[in-house]
Structure 1
């Protein structure tokens, strides 16, 4: 499912117009992104938790030359599925 299809589903289930559904989805995504950029975690009970995890710096290899390179530390978004989402995916 892509974003347009998701917007159509939101409109169908909520009774909102397509434009209203698009604004609602964009607002949710912007709010999650903003919260994560501020270091907060976003927990949607039953669905899952979005958070930022930190990766340590480490050594890697350039696959083309085999040269050892230093990969810098970084932050990355992560998602942990909630119980209800896991049940839905597993058909329970």
Structure 2
């Protein structure tokens, strides 16, 4: 397969080019389109679920008190929305079994 440690947009487009016979331009446009749709959904507060792969979940974290580990001074941490990823069982199994 691949020997690199990071899968990039270009790698995804190249794989689509090889496996589906799409042009490089069309493959890259399709990858960009999918990523843009996912980004827009997350930006509007929707979770993104890709069956057999996993779910990108948005979580609202409330304000809390944190501590600077170096000085020990307590500081308020502002409320924020965070993005998490929960892998599907199928993906976990494939990763575990190589």
* TM superposition score category, shorter chain reference: 0.7 to 0.9
Structure 2 counterparts to residues 32-43 of structure 1, below 5 A: 32-43=38-49
Query: 1:82 matched to which residue of 2?
Result: 88
Decide which of 62, 69, 90 is 1:56's aligned counterpart.
Answer: 62
Q: Quote the residue 1:31 is aligned against.
A: 37
| Partner SS state of residue 16, structure 1 | coil
Unpaired runs of 5+ residues, structure 1, are none
Runs of 4 or more off by more than 2 Å in structure 1? 61-67
Cα-to-partner distance string for 1:52-90 (whole Å, 9 max, x where unaligned): 111121112334543221110100111111122112111
Q: What is the root-mean-square deviation in Å for CA atoms of aligned residues?
A: 1.7
Pair 1:66 & 2:72 matched: yes
State the TM-score, normalized to the length of structure 1.
0.85
SS of 2:45's equivalent in the other structure is coil
> In the comparison of the two structures, how many residue pairs are matched?
92
CA contact (8 A) 2:62 2:79 kept: yes
Find the counterpart in structure 1 of residue 22 from structure 2.
Answer: 16
Deviation at 1:2, TM superposition (A): 2.2
